[in-house]
Every structure is written in C-alpha cells, then in structure tokens.
C-alpha cells in the first residue's frame, strides 16, 4: 500500500480540538533521541513508520497544534525535522518525524509532573547502530574502572532549586569534575553514563556500567524537600529488600546468567539444579557488592564531612533503581539539598563543586588503594599507607584491609598494639 503525505501549514487551529500540542522538545544523546510533545491533556494516539524516505507518523485524536514546528530546536543526528501532515480524518492531528535513517521507536504518555504537564514521549534509537561496549585497553594490568552517573537529564530536570536551578545541570557539572579527577589518577579510569543534557533510562545506566566492566558505579544527585530547612550531603546504598527482589528477577533471565556469573554461568546452565546454583552464586555476588558499597560509602561520607555539612552521618539504604546491579558495587551520593537556598547557592559555585568532587574522589581512592581488584595497576603497587584516625585499633585496621594484626606489626616493626592518632602505617598486601 502506498502512502501519500501532503505537507500542511505549520500552525493549525486548535479551537475545536479537545487536546492541544503546546510544544515539541528534542533531546539528543549520542545514539538515541527523545522527542517530547507537550500537550494540554493526556493523548489518545497511534503511530506507524514509513520508508523511502524514513518517517515516523504519530496520529493524535481530537487534537490540534498551536505552535510553529519550523522553529523547534533540533540537534539530533536521527531527526531531520518535525512537521504536520494531512490527517486521516477531521479532528486528528498528524505529526510526521522525518528521519535521517531507520530507527526503533518506543512511545509512551507521561502524566503531569512539575514543571511539565501531560506529555507524549518518543524514544528513538538508531536501529543500525552497533551497541557500544567500552573495554579497557588490552594489557596484563588493567585500570580500576569507575562509572559516574549524573542523575536525571534531558526531559527529566530532577529537583528545582528556589532560584530555578535544575538538579540535572548541577550533578552533571559535579560528575564531570569527579570523572576528571579519576582520569587524572594513574591506574584508574572513569566512564560516564551521560556526558550531556539528555536522559538515560535507569535500567540502561547500570547496563552501561556493566558493559564498561566497571568496578564501581557512583550515581550523583542533589536532594530536595518540601521545606527549605533541610541541608547536607548523604550517601545511599541498596536496601536488602530490593536486593532480594533483584536476585529473583535475575534468576528468571537465564540468558543473563553467563553475563553476570562469567564462566560459572556457562557451567550451571547445563546442570539439573541450575536455578539453585544460580541463586547461591547471585546471592554471594550481591552480598559482596553490597559489602563493598557500604565500605566505600563510609569512606566517601568521611571525606564529604570535611567539606560540607552532612545530612546523614551513616550510609542510608533505599530501593534506588540505579543501585540494583548484583555484580557492581554501587552508591548514590546526595551532594546537598538544592531546595535549601543557601545550599543551592553553594552547589552552583565551581569552588564548592570541586570540593565535593575531591571528597568523592578521595573516598573512592582510599578504598581501592586498600582493596585493589585483581590484575589492576593499583594491585601491582605493593603496600599502601594508612593514617591512624581517632578510635582505630590494630584489629580494626587489619579487618578493614583484610590482613592480620601480626603482618601490620611486622611491616611497621611495632612492639605493642598501641597506636597514636596521625601515625602512618604501612599496610602489606
């Protein structure tokens, strides 16, 4: 069947329509694009694609446009332009997305949430683009890889401060500073789940970290509350309840077992008791990831406390979706309350952002210097130094680094278990 599309004027009357197209926003990511239709009501819509040339056609019943589509800001490599076309019947608004190449499309409606009203969202992905897998350079000793996740982005502004500052911008600025400090550390490398103002699906964020073979995922946010009083930073880890539900979900995806469990996954696929073996291994993997997450969270909190007020002095647990990966230690850092006028002003300054980035970097570095993953450059450096802090004993320090009290005493030629605050200890591998 042949389709004949006749281009109409850029503005159509909206007086007789029940729904009105008030705006179109285009958010471009490297291999995908989100197109958002701002509407006066929830849409009743259908869509189809055409080829030669490639187009996506969206029909909205009882709708009309009140905007000039030729003036839409567009920096997408997938979308050529957005225009109106002759509708199949009176009262229907037909919008055509002219494409530069074939795409896979996912359309869904969103209910009003500040600062937006009803929306129809079109997520377009390059159907011919190969999936990006970031791999470390081939060498015997690899870098420790840290995935930095700047929260929100694009269509999702996150929380909005009293002066109108968007959370998505502040956390991207801080994330870039953290990534720069990690990339400037020999033996470490940062990857970012988003590097610009576009939205990345929450499930895709942990997948990007996994494809990059990340040793840690740090999601960076700015907190908010209904009143302006609360302030201070906090660090969150995955709750045990959410962890258990995630293990159950992963168990159902047998094709993912090899991805999560490596060679063990391939072995257990042919075993009669595959589900029980997989459950045991996934549970062990999650326990290990959560233990590492808690340890890093404590280190990061300790350093954040030197540069900003803490809202919570101990790591908190929650069911954040971005933390749910069973095989990647993950933490979420709330850098402060954007809803607090004074803290919002601080969060906007380059100097405060840099202090926060340094604190996060120091906390991460302290953990990985003490506990470097196998076959990493950090692991090849031999012993590390530890500065004794108030309340620490030899047994506490030995437990933290996974060594014996006797080995610490031998390395430092200690004749007793007495320590002093500020004392530098050599911690043997």
Per-residue model confidence as pLDDT tens digits over 93-124: 999 999 999 999 999 998 887 778 999 999 99
Residue 229: pLDDT above 50? yes
Work out the angle between the directed axes of helices 405-412 and 394-401 (0-180°, nearest 10). 100
Distance, in Å, from the CA atom of 79 to the CA atom of 65, rounded to the nearest integer, reads 19
Residue 161: pLDDT above 70? yes
Question: So what's the pLDDT on residue 104?
Answer: 92
Please, which pLDDT band fits residue 182 given cuts at 50, 70 and 90? very high
Domains and CATH numbers, the chain: 19-126 (2.60.40.3500), 144-370 (3.40.630.40), 382-427 (3.10.350.10)
Which residues lie across from 190 on neighbouring strands?
146
Please, which pLDDT band fits residue 135 given cuts at 50, 70 and 90? low
First to last CA, the chain: 71
- 3-state SS assignment for residue 256: helix
Max mean pLDDT range (232-236, 243-247, 261-265): 232-236
CA dihedral sign, ordered 368, 373, 378, 382: positive
- What DSSP letter does each residue of 11-45 carry, written as one string? ----TT-SEEEEEEEEEE-SSEEEEEEEESS---E
Please, which pLDDT band fits residue 399 given cuts at 50, 70 and 90? confident
pLDDT in tens, 292-332: 999 999 999 999 999 999 999 999 988 787 877 777 899 99
pTM here is 0.69
Q: Are 222 and 302 in contact (CB under 8 A)?
A: no
Work out the angle between the directed axes of helices 274-304 and 350-370 (0-180°, nearest 10). 130
Distance, in Å, from the CA atom of 320 to the CA atom of 315, rounded to the nearest integer, reads 14
Q: Give backbone dihedrals phi and psi of 175, rounded to 5 degrees, phi first.
A: -60, -40
Average pLDDT over residues 2-19: 45
pLDDT in tens, 57-70: 999 999 999 899 99
């Amino acid at each position: 069947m042949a389709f004949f599309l006749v281009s109409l004027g850029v503005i159509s009357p909206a007086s007789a329509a029940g729904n009105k197209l008030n705006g179109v926003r285009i958010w471009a990511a490297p291999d995908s694009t989100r197109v958002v239709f701002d509407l006066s009501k929830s849409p009743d819509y259908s869509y189809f694609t055409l080829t030669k040339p490639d187009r996506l056609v969206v029909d909205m019943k009882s709708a009309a446009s009140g905007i000039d589509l030729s003036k839409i800001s567009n920096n997408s490599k997938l979308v050529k332009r957005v225009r109106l076309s002759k509708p199949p019947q009176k009262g229907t608004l037909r919008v055509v997305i002219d494409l530069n190449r074939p795409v896979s499309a996912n359309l869904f409606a969103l209910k009003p949430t500040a600062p937006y009203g009803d929306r129809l969202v079109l997520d377009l992905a390059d159907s011919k683009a190969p999936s990006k897998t970031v791999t470390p350079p081939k060498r015997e000793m690899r870098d420790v890889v840290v995935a930095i996740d700047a929260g929100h982005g694009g269509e999702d502004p996150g929380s909005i401060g009293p002066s109108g500052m968007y959370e998505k911008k502040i956390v991207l600025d801080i994330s870039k500073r953290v990534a720069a400090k990690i990339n400037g550390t020999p033996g470490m490398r940062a990857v970012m789940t988003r590097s610009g103002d576009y939205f990345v699906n929450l499930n895709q964020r942990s997948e990007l970290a996994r494809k990059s073979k990340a040793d840690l995922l740090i999601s960076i946010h700015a907190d908010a509350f209904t009143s302006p009083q609360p302030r201070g930073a906090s660090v969150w880890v995955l709750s045990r309840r959410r962890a258990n539900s995630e293990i159950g979900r992963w168990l159902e995806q047998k094709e993912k077992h090899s991805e999560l469990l490596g060679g063990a996954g391939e072995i257990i696929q042919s075993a009669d008791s595959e589900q029980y073996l997989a459950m045991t291994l996934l549970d062990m993997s999650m326990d290990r990831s959560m233990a590492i997450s808690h340890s890093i969270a404590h280190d990061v909190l300790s350093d954040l406390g030197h540069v900003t007020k803490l809202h919570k002095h101990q790591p908190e647990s929650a069911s954040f979706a971005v933390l749910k990966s069973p095989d990647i230690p993950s933490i979420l850092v709330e850098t402060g309350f954007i809803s607090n006028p004074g803290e919002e002003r601080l969060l906007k300054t380059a100097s405060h952002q840099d202090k926060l980035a340094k604190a996060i970097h120091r906390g991460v570095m302290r953990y990985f210097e003490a506990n470097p993953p196998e076959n990493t450059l950090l692991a090849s450096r031999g012993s590390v130094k530890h500065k004794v802090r108030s309340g620490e004993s030899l047994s506490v320090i030995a437990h933290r680094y996974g060594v014996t009290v006797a080995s610490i005493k031998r390395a430092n030629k200690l004749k007793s278990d007495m320590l002093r605050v500020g004392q530098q200890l050599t911690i043997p591998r």
